Amino acid sequence: MTAPPLATRRRQDRVPFVRAVTYAALILAVVVTLIPFAWMFLGAFKTDGELIRRPITWWPDQPTMENFVTWFTRLDFGQFFLNSSIVAVATVLGNLMFCSMVGYALAKIDFAGKRVLFTLVLITLMIPGVVTFIPLFVVVSKLGMISTYPALILPFLASPLGVFLMRQFMLGIPDALLEAARIDGAGELRIFLRVVMPLCGPALATLAILTFLGSWNNFLWPLVAAQSEDMYTLPVALSLYSVGQNATNYGVLLAGSVLVITPILLFFVALQRYFIQGIATVGVK
Amino acid sequence: MTLLRQPRVTGAGRIAGARRRGSTARRRATVVAYLFALPFIASFAVFMVFPVLASLGMSFTDFTNRDIQNPTSVNPVGFQQFSALLSNPQFLRSVLNTVYFVGVGIPLTMVIALALAVALNSGINRFRTAFRVGFFAPVVTSIVAVAVVWRFILQPDGLLNEALAAVGITGPNWLGDPAWAMPAMIMMAVWRSVGTLMVIFIAGLQNIPQEVLEAAEIDGAGRAQRFFRVTLPLMRPTLLLGAVLLSVGFLQFFEEPFVMTRGGPLDATLSISYFTYNQFGFGNFGLASAASYLLFVAIALLSLVQFRLFRSKD
């Protein structure tokens, strides 16, 4: 990068207080944004008594691990975590494989019906999940798969968004590279695996992150498809324990929230550049 | 950059290949392409295309949960489910609620996100990453988990009202008062959507050529003028994209009321998705499908309107 344009620099020098105000506003805004997180994390270590006591306290009076212990003893956190993880990992792997395969066909092979297929993919990007879940439920229950892993995984193995993402990225890979491999006698499968896929690292990383995020936080379908407690994913377990008699166990609910979002938050902080790039890529198209 | 090192032969090879490309070659390519697309097409057909069509079909029947094992007992009822919806006060309420949520939530999110994007893009260098991470954190977290926390923050004597009391305002019973439950939902939705839009807007701002802004400055345009006359018009495609993405998400609004209010109080936060989910729970699959289709049509229409609106201003 070169030095900032002259006009920008001059503007900044002329009005330093604009910068100060901007910083102050941004800091205030980010603090306000993060307050719910702070309150959640601190609250998870408070007793129910302290949580309902007024005035509100920030720092726990007598920090307790009791709320977390409840998740591992009275509730089956291990099982919920395992369910969420199995579903997320399977969904990510499926998307990486299947979306890149179609992406390759759509970007690099000239075939009959290509436009129709791509248009269908684009149209389905707009269809809300609530439209499909009733027929899906009927299909899955006819197949006897309600409350099984396949019910939670299969509908999400390939996503139109992933296909779109992979196609867009692969369009940018020069055809000449593929032609060279073809001249050298490589078949399409070989070209796909040895030439195209190794170049798709950034797109695959983006797709993996977005799919993992979507799967980990997915709610409506698991709520419908996981009808027995041993198949609940984390958000489903948390939402079902947040009503009825459990709704008054404030500390347990906050601890549950912490347990649900901590893995994804850690993942996010570690890979934040790619997360943000991914959203920008998919958004900007 | 391995991408740039292209073998010399390819130029000639490619032209020859293109000339030689006959129908046999294309037929072969088509077979190969479909082999690559097969897993996706299979899953797409079973889990997307079929459900979408089935849902449309179901919306013209009296399909209930009792018909799952014996679909022959289903009767076609024409547009009866749709007319039933239009005379169902709860559904109409859910439509009004969704319109309220989208109508207030989207402009609010866009304005805040644009302000943050402009601020972050205006020569702010220190803590830039920290700011982005901070504003983006609500985006990546489970809505269900944060809704649990917001429920406490929004209690009559919760954190928000305590903060309001500190500046002399008596806050309402956010989730218990039908008049305030929806503003509370909107507040939370804005909180968790601003990050995504902000990132998209920053990308849009960075695509604006510096020279154009400098030229405007030389012509004597002030800060505000440059923003409204240069930046905003050039941002139109990005703003449009943001608005469409947000509408698709906001129109499906479900998790927040599910966790925080169960659609209450007095159906004040019952959304179209929530209505559909409830009817599904009662076993009224036909009615629920009809409702979900109306939602789909609304999403498609709104996207169209937004495209028109942003284009016609050119």
**How many CB atoms sit inside 10 A of residue A112's CB?**
13
pLDDT of B183 above 80: yes
Q: Does the pLDDT at position A15 exceed 80? A: no
What is residue A20's predicted lDDT score, i.e. its pLDDT?
86
- In chain A, the percentage of residues whose pLDDT exceeds 70 is 91
Which residues 168-197 on chain B approach chain A with CB closer than 8 angstroms?
Answer: 191, 194, 196
Give A228-256 pLDDT, tens digit per residue.
888 999 999 888 877 665 566 888 889 99
So what's the pLDDT on residue A4? 54
Three-class SS state of A238: helix
Given a cut of 60, whether residue A125 has pLDDT beyond it is yes
Tell me the mean pLDDT in the region A154-168.
90
The span from the CA of A249 to the CA of A254, in Å, is 9
Could you give the CA distance from residue A55 to residue B158 in angstroms, rounded to a whole number? 9
* pLDDT for A7: 52
Helix ranges (DSSP H) in chain A: 6-14, 16-43, 48-52, 66-73, 77-108, 114-124, 129-142, 149-153, 160-171, 175-183, 188-190, 197-199, 201-217, 220-225, 234-241, 250-270, 272-284
User: What are φ and ψ of residue B24, in 5° steps?
Assistant: -65, -45
pLDDT of residue A227: 86
Which pLDDT belongs to residue B9? Answer: 39
Q: Find chain A residues with C-beta within 8 A of B58's C-beta.
A: 134-135
Q: Taking 70 as the threshold, does the pLDDT of residue B314 lie above it?
A: no
A138 vs A31: CA distance, rounded Å: 46
Backbone angles phi, psi at B60, to 5 degrees: -105, 15
Is pLDDT of B272 > 90? yes
Residue B264's alpha-carbon distances to A220, A224, B161, B278, in angstroms, are: 19, 21, 20, 13
B34–A105 C-beta distance less than 8 A? yes
- For chain A, give the mean pLDDT: 85
Q: Which of A8, A25, A216 sits opposite B123 (nearest CB)?
A: A8
Has residue B73 got a pLDDT over 90?
Answer: no
The residue among B20, B43, B98, B144 with the most chain A CBs within 10 A of its CB, best to mutate, is B144
Lowest mean pLDDT among B122-126, B172-176, B195-199: B122-126
Tell me, what's the ipTM? 0.81
Spatial distance between the Cα atoms of A276 and A267, rounded to a whole number of angstroms: 12
Q: Does B9 touch chain A (CB under 8 A)?
A: yes
pLDDT of residue B1: 31
Per-residue pLDDT tens digits for A200-233: 988 898 899 889 988 998 988 999 898 888 899 9
Identify the pLDDT of residue B255: 86
pLDDT, tens digit, 9 for 90 and up, residues A36-85: 999 999 989 988 888 888 788 888 888 888 889 888 888 888 999 999 99
Mind giving me the DSSP string for B17-62?
HHHH--HHHHHHHHHHHHHHHHHHHHHHIIIIIHHHHHHHHHTTB-
pLDDT of residue A88: 95
**pLDDT score recorded for residue A284:** 40
- Pinpoint the alpha helices (H) of chain B: 10-20, 23-44, 50-58, 80-86, 89-120, 128-140, 143-153, 159-166, 178-206, 210-218, 223-225, 232-234, 236-251, 255-260, 272-281, 285-312
Residue B41 has pLDDT above 80, yes or no: yes
Distance CA B295, CA B274 (A): 11
Instruction: Find the mean pLDDT for residues B158-167.
Output: 89
Residue B3's pLDDT is 35
- Ordered domains of chain B (ranges, CATH): 89-310 (1.10.3720.10)
- The closest alpha carbon to B137, from B197, B192, B184, belongs to B192
From residue A90, alpha-carbon distances to A96, A215, B97 in Å are 10, 10, 37
Q: Which of the four pLDDT bands, split at 50, 70 and 90, describes residue B180?
A: very high
User: Which of A50-54, A237-241, B87-91, B236-240 shows the lowest per-residue confidence on average (mean pLDDT)?
Assistant: A50-54
pLDDT at residue A14 tops 70: no
Nearest-by-CA chain B residue for A187: B32
The rounded distance, in Å, linking the Cα atoms of A91 and A168 is 21
Check CB contact of B16 with chain A, cutoff 8 Å.
no
Q: What are A281's two structure tokens?
A: 């890529």
> What is the pLDDT, as a whole number, of residue B4?
36
Residue type, position A26, single letter? L
Q: Which three-class secondary structure string do you get for B121-161?
A: CCCCCCCHHHHHHHHHHHHHCCHHHHHHHHHHHCCCCCHHH
A24 Cβ contact partners less than 8 Å away, ≥ 6 residues apart: none
Q: Cβ contacts (< 8 Å) between B122 and chain A: which residues?
A: 19, 22
In chain A, what is the straight-line distance between the N-terminal and C-terminal CA atoms, in Å? 24
B62 CB near a chain A CB, below 8 Å?
no
Residue B76 backbone dihedrals phi, psi, to 5 degrees: -70, 140
Q: pLDDT band at A5, cuts 50/70/90?
A: low
What's the pLDDT score for residue A41?
Answer: 92
Among A10-14, A132-136, A272-276, name the one with the lowest average pLDDT.
A10-14
Is B21 or A107 the better-scoring residue by pLDDT?
A107
Chain A: give the shortest CA distance to residue B188, in Å.
10
Q: Do A43 and B152 touch (CB under 8 A)?
A: yes
Partner A, chain B 257-286, Cβ-Cβ below 8 Å: 258-259, 262, 272-273, 276-277, 280, 285
A177–chain B nearest CA distance, Å: 6
Is the pLDDT at A140 greater than 80, yes or no?
yes
Total residues found in chain A within this entry: 285
Domain boundaries, chain A: 6-43, 70-283
Interval B8-26 mean pLDDT: 51
B203/A284 Cβ within 8 A: yes
Q: Is B137 in contact with A33 (CB distance < 8 Å)?
A: yes
Higher pLDDT, B97 or B74: B97
User: Whose CA is closest to B148, among A260, A266, A50?
Assistant: A260
Peptide linkage before B39 cis (omega within 30 of 0): no
pLDDT band at A112 (very low <50, low <70, confident <90, very high): confident
pLDDT, residue A245, reads 58
Q: What percent of chain A has pLDDT over 90?
A: 30
User: Which pLDDT score is estimated for B40?
Assistant: 92
At B271 the three-state DSSP class reads coil
Look at residue B13 and tell me whether its pLDDT is greater than 70: no
Q: Which CATH number fits domain A70-283: 3.20.20.70, 1.10.580.10, 3.40.50.150, 1.10.3720.10?
A: 1.10.3720.10
Q: Is the pLDDT of residue B14 over 50?
A: no
For the cut 90, the answer to whether the pLDDT of residue A104 exceeds it is yes
**At residue A206, what is the residue type?**
T
CB contact under 8 A, A7 and B217: yes
| Whether the Cβ atoms of residue B312 and residue A166 lie closer than 8 Å to each other | no
CA dihedral A39, A235, B298, A140 (to 10 degrees): 180
pLDDT on residue B12: 38
Which pLDDT band holds residue B22 (cuts at 50, 70, 90)? low
Round to whole Å and give the CA distance between A93 and A84: 14
